[in-house]
Amino acid sequence: MKIWKALTMSAAALAMSGTAALAEWQPRKPVELIIMAGTGGGADQIARLLQGLIQKNGMSPRPFIPINKPGGSGAEALSYMKGKEGDNHTLLVALNSFYTTPLIQEELEIDVTSFAPIGRMAMDTFLLWVNAENEDITDLDSYIAAVKEKDGAWKVGGTGMGQEDSILTAMMEKELGYNVTYIPFPGGGTVAKNLVGNQVDSTVNNPSEQMEFWRAGNAKPLVQFNGERTAPFEDVPTAKELGADIEYYMQRSISGPAGMDPEAIAWYQNLFEELFNSEEWQAYCESDGLTCEQFLTGDDLSAFHEAQLKRHEELIESVGADAIMSK
């Protein structure tokens, strides 16, 4: 009996030392999950879902705490990350303003390529939404007609000048030949609420921000900006199908600050890959119209970020920074 006990104990000790060798680095204090957008938006929901999954499945010895820093189209969050250089307990939940804000606000001197690439969790869909009460607007053509009729006073709600939705709005203005008034709100959730309350005329929100209102019959999607029709929006045509040359996605990725220890980077990369492959995450992607086919990390992710930076530079150049930053 005694021998048996000793055996199991040493086996347990072996197993433990084995795990310890695999994961030498572990968070030693709560990890800040910085969200570069307001509460209720897509990035916010994702961060909170991930936080919950990490805690529920006991994937980290310390909790992850989501913190919203929506100021200045993500500039607040990026400056904060810049100040956290070398910190192993801060992560950024990034969206496309990760590229655009440093490009537009050069004075911030933020180089996102220096950030530690942890993982790309998804590519999110953009849709054009209008209030369901607009019975005359049924497709892109009737939408364009309605916008042109307002002669520039058509109100598009978004999350801030220089944010991805303002770029998409500028792309649409250029491609479809009209002008709109862009009104910034502090987050995608607030934008959705203002559309349903008829305070703005249209939005280009991501599904997770607008879906519940769609299900309730308050808002309807007209166009999606993915290359191909994405579930659950199989009935919504893509812009390309309709002859408008616009294809635009929202990246959902996680980054660490510059100078994060390689051991910590490896630990987080591992963690988020596990999260990406979890049933819960894949189910969320499916229900909320995100594309989650491939997990990108390390050098692949860095290459992806660089390509996206270049693409956004071109986009901003083609629509003109003024089109995004002013009215």
Residue 80 near another protein by CB under 8 A: yes
117 vs 160, which CB is nearer to another protein?
160
Task: Count the site residues for another protein by CB under 8 A.
Answer: 65
DSSP 3-state assignment of 16? helix
Among 42, 189, 207, 289, binds another protein (CB under 8 A): 189
Q: In what order do the strands lie in the sheet with 127-131?
A: 181-184, 155-158, 202-203, 127-131, 219-224
Q: In this structure, are residues 100 and 316 in contact, taking their beta carbons and an 8 Å threshold?
A: yes
Residue 207 near another protein by CB under 8 A: no
**Partners of 220 in beta bridges:** 130
69 vs 120, which CB is nearer to another protein?
69
Cβ neighbours of residue 21 closer than 8 Å, sequence gap 6 or more: none
Q: Helix H segments across the chain?
A: 2-22, 42-56, 75-83, 97-104, 140-150, 164-176, 188-196, 207-215, 262-277, 279-287, 298-319, 321-325
171 vs 192, which CB is nearer to another protein?
192
Residue 73 near another protein by CB under 8 A: yes
Question: Which amino acid, residue 214?
Answer: W
The CB density around residue 76, as the number of other CB atoms within 10 Å, is 16
Scanning residues 159 to 188, which ones bind another protein (CB under 8 A)? 160-162, 181-187
Residue 30 near another protein by CB under 8 A: yes
Interface with another protein (CB under 8 A) = 30, 32, 39-40, 44-45, 47-49, 51-53, 55-56, 63, 65-66, 68-73, 75-76, 79-80, 83, 101, 104-105, 107-108, 152-153, 155, 160-162, 181-187, 189-190, 192-194, 196-200, 211-213, 215-216, 218, 280, 325, 327
